[in-house]
Amino acid sequence: MLGTLYDITRKIKFRQFERRNMKKMLMLAALTLSAVAVAQAAPTPATKLESFQAQSGILTLRETLGTRAFSASLGGGEVTVEAVRLSQPGNNQTALGVVFSLLKERGSEVVFVDYEELQGLIDALGYIYTKSPSLNPALSPELTFTSKARLKVGFLVSAQQKPIGLVQSGINTVFIAPMDIAFMHDVLVDFKSRLK
């Protein structure tokens, strides 16, 4: 009798142990599946141009209203800026803005700036160019504008205390001459007038 009572108690404890472990394993599986689902979800486009370009199964007309390239002054690479109009023939949907293409030896990246955000970028570049000479190089200043799509454009002082312009997105950074910041400002003002 003592042996069977011991066996029954042991079986009950083993089943309780199994239930606790099963709950933990189910919770772990649910967390893993939800993490995988979140990781596999497509990123939400940050701009109207990007979401317009991402549509599939539709006819899209892309019109380039102006192009300007800026060569790197340090480290190689190039930045191409294009004024674009995207539309769907037969439909009233249109997206306007500027496309920045950063080309480096690691590859290229494309970043979109919507028309509505363009004036903020123009104002920032004007401010950056006028204020950058007055910044103290000993403090290694960095004065930048970051767009909705994570394009970073601006000015910094290098470790050698030399002023330099920068255009950055994701893995690519292209360093341009400080004077190119002023040229980029003027190009964007021109592009904005063409996009109206």
Closest CA relative to residue 168, chosen from 106, 99, 79: 79
pLDDT for 185: 94
Virtual CA dihedral for 44, 48, 49, 51, nearest 10 degrees? 40
Domain ranges of the chain: 48-195
Please count the CA atoms within 13 angstroms of the CA of 124 that sit on its side-chain side: 17
The predicted structure's pLDDT at residue 68: 95
Q: For position 100, what pLDDT does the model report? A: 94
Predicted local distance difference test score (pLDDT) of residue 92: 84
Checking if the pLDDT of 81 tops 80, the result is: yes
What is residue 187's predicted lDDT score, i.e. its pLDDT? 95
Q: What is the pLDDT of residue 11?
A: 63
Query: Would you place residue 161 in the very low, low, confident or very high pLDDT band (cuts 50, 70, 90)?
Result: confident
- Assess whether pLDDT exceeds 90 at residue 191: yes
Span 61-66, mean pLDDT? 92
Residue 35 banded pLDDT, cuts 50, 70, 90: low
Q: Give 31 or 63, the one with higher predicted confidence.
A: 63
* Domain 48-195, second-level architecture: 2-Layer Sandwich (3.30)
> Which tens digits make up the pLDDT trace of 98-157?
999 999 887 889 999 999 999 999 999 999 888 877 777 777 788 899 999 999 999 888
Asked if residue 180 has pLDDT above 60, the reply is: yes
**To the nearest whole number, what is the mean pLDDT of the chain?**
82
pTM of structure: 0.74
**Sheet strands (E) in 43-183:** 61-71, 78-87, 94-104, 107-114, 142-146, 152-157, 163-169, 172-176
pLDDT of residue 70: 92
Asked if the model's pLDDT at residue 95 lies above 70, the reply is: yes
